[in-house]
Chains A and B, each alone.
Chain A
């Protein structure tokens, strides 16, 4: 399926909820969504349109946090584009709904984003640390800007 066909399908299924869809290249489609709508958008893309959830990325920018969800339309004839849906979150208190109700595979990546970046996910079924050691302080998020772990963790075991 070409990227135009995929964009048409997305617009038909989601209408207003998906803003600013454009195809950067033939295989990469980008779109934006509101944090309030993201559960519905990802559920439609994953369950109704049949795309595979690849991964999610979290980033701290200068003024806000961004979370990107990547889906691959693989059950279609080639070329199969990768669709990325972006949400912008508040810089002081990054909070978004967890998409695990529609996409159960997102559970672990949301745990990772929570412990490394401090993004809160509402209604997550199992919010436990995934990668950091057991004795790591819970309020220090290493992948934030400015080396926040300096002075807060012991460098010897």
Chain B
């Protein structure tokens, strides 16, 4: 694994996008930075400009106005950029699914394969969000060996 990929795993700078959320998930995201969970010890910092971002944390159901902006923000982020969808609204629009301003859900607004990790919950607990971030960072590593995959399949059987 290249040293820059390892560095990306050790220092994910996070940009928070709220695409019309009720702010419940946003409060729980801020919880992660507070002393009880403190994700800064993993190198994660909340940064101000989307160009500096390594991970976009997206909350909120996609309504007409914000879906356009989310797509623009994803294009503006410097690649490689992870996308972490947080909360039931970002996954499948949650309770607002048939409401009047809703357009397609997040993984159809962004290019296919852009969303790295989905964290369910309404809102998800900070522990769930940290687990999601860890899974997203682990996806940067090269793929697991085939024997490991076979063993997993055998366990499931």
Q: Do chains A and B touch in the complex (CB under 8 A)?
A: yes
Stretch at the interface among B30-38, B63-71, B125-133: B63-71
Q: How far apart are the CA atoms of A147 and B99 in the complex, in Å?
A: 9
Q: Which residues of B contact A (CB under 8 A)?
A: 63-65, 67-68, 100-104, 108-109
Secondary structure dominating the interface of A: loop
Question: Do B102 and A157 touch across chains, with their CB atoms under 8 A apart?
Answer: no
How many residues of chain A have a CB within 8 Å of chain B? Answer: 11
What separation, in Å, do the CA atoms of A14 and B138 have in the docked complex?
70
> How many CB-defined contacts (below 8 Å) exist between A and B?
25
Chain B residues within 8 Å of A149, by CB: 100
Nearest Cβ distance between residue A58 and chain B, in whole angstroms?
16
Instruction: Contact check, B103 vs A157: say whether CB atoms are below 8 A apart.
Output: yes
For A133, A136, A156, A157, the residue with the greatest tally of chain B CB atoms inside 10 Å of its CB is: A157
| Smallest Cβ-Cβ distance to A148: which chain B residue | B100
Q: How far is the CA of A113 from the CA of B64 in the complex (A)?
A: 19
The residue from A132, A142, A155 contacting B103, defined by CB atoms under 8 A apart: A155
The answer on a CB contact under 8 Å between B100 and A135 is no
Since A153-B100, A156-B108, A157-B104 are in contact, a sample of 20 more A-B pairs with Cβ atoms closer than 8 Å, ordered by chain A residue number, is A132-B64, A132-B101, A133-B63, A133-B64, A133-B65, A133-B101, A136-B64, A142-B100, A142-B101, A149-B100, A155-B102, A155-B103, A155-B104, A156-B103, A156-B104, A157-B64, A157-B67, A157-B68, A157-B103, A157-B109
Residues of A within 8 A of B104 (CB): 155-157
Contact of B64 with A135 in the complex, beta carbons under 8 Å? yes
Scoring B63, B100, B103 by chain A CB atoms within 10 A of each residue's CB, the highest score goes to B100
A150 to chain B, nearest CB (A): 9
Contacts of A142 in B (CB 8 A): 100-101
Residues of A within 8 A of B101 (CB): 132-133, 142
Q: Could you say which residues of chain B place their CB within 8 Å of the CB of A153?
A: 100
Q: What's the nearest-Cβ distance from chain B to residue A117, in Å?
A: 13
Give the residues from 102 to 149 in chain A that come closer than 8 angstroms, CB to CB, to chain B.
Answer: 132-133, 135-136, 142, 147, 149
Contacts of B102 in A (CB 8 A): 155
Q: B67's closest neighbor in chain A, by CB? A: A157
Contact partners of A155 in chain B: CB under 8 A: 102-104
Contacts of B67 in A (CB 8 A): 157
| Minimum CB distance partner of B108 in chain A | A156
A110 to chain B, nearest CB (A): 20
What chain A residues lie within 8 Å of B63 (beta carbons)? 133
B contact residues around A147 at 8 Å (CB): 100
Determine the distance from Cα of A135 to Cα of B65 in the docked complex, in whole angstroms.
Answer: 9
In the assembly, what is the distance between CA of A149 and CA of B103, in Å?
A: 13
Nearest-CB residue, chain A, relative to B64? A133
